[in-house]
Amino acid sequence: MRQMKISSSNPKLALLAMAAALIQGCSAMSGAVRPVENAPAPRAIIPPSTTSLTAPTKPAVKTTLLPASTGPASWYGPGFSGKKTASGDIFDDGKLTAAHKTLPFGSKAKVTNLSNGKSVKVEINDRGPYVENRIIDLSQAAAHALGMIDHGVVQVRIEPLVDESGVVVGNVD
C-alpha cells in the first residue's frame, strides 16, 4: 500500500484520504467471498417423482358423457386445413379427427355411419359443430372412411372410447 503525506492545513483533503484508505482496506479483507477454483458445479435438487426421462403424457380424463349418442354428422376440411383448432392443434384434413361440443380434447371416439355400417376411430381436437342439430363434425379423412363425402350429412352413432375404469381413452392408434 502506498503511503501518502497529508497536510493538516487542508482538513477536507485529509478526510477524503481517510475515506479512500478505509474503502481500499475493506476491499482487501480476508473474509470477502471469492470463487473457489476447481470447485464442483452446483447440482440441482430434483424430487424423485420428476426424474423420469420419458416425455410427459396428458393425464387421462374422466367424463360423464359415456353413453353412445346418435344424430347427424357433417364434415369439414380443405377451407380449415392449416388453421388452429380449439385445442391448439393445427387442423389437418388428412387426419382422423373431429369437432365435438363436450368430449374432452385428446379423447377418442368410435363413429359409425348408420346407413352403411362403416366406422372409424377419431380424436377430438376441436369444438363444434356450430350448425343446429348436428352432433359431430368430422375431418375429410374421417368422412371418407365413413363413406359420407358425397352425402355431406349422415346419421351416425358416437361411442366415446373408455377403459374398464371409465376413463376416456386418449391414444388408440
In one-letter notation, the amino acid at residue 99 is A
Whether this prediction's pTM lies above 0.95 is answered by: no
CA distance 120 to 143: 9
Percent of the chain with pLDDT over 90: 51
How many helices (H) and strands (E) the chain has is answered by 2, 8
Q: Which residue has the higher pLDDT, 57 or 149?
A: 149
Q: In the predicted model, is pLDDT for residue 64 greater than 80?
A: no
What would the CATH number be for the domain defined by 65-168? 2.40.40.10
Q: Where are the domains of the chain?
A: 65-168
83: enclosing H helix or E strand: none
Please answer whether residues 118 and 160 qualify as being in contact, where contact means their C-beta atoms are separated by less than 8 angstroms: no
Which residues share a beta bridge with 74? 137
pLDDT, one tens digit per residue, over 6-19 is 555 666 666 666 66
Position 62 confidence tier, pLDDT thresholds 50, 70, 90 = very low
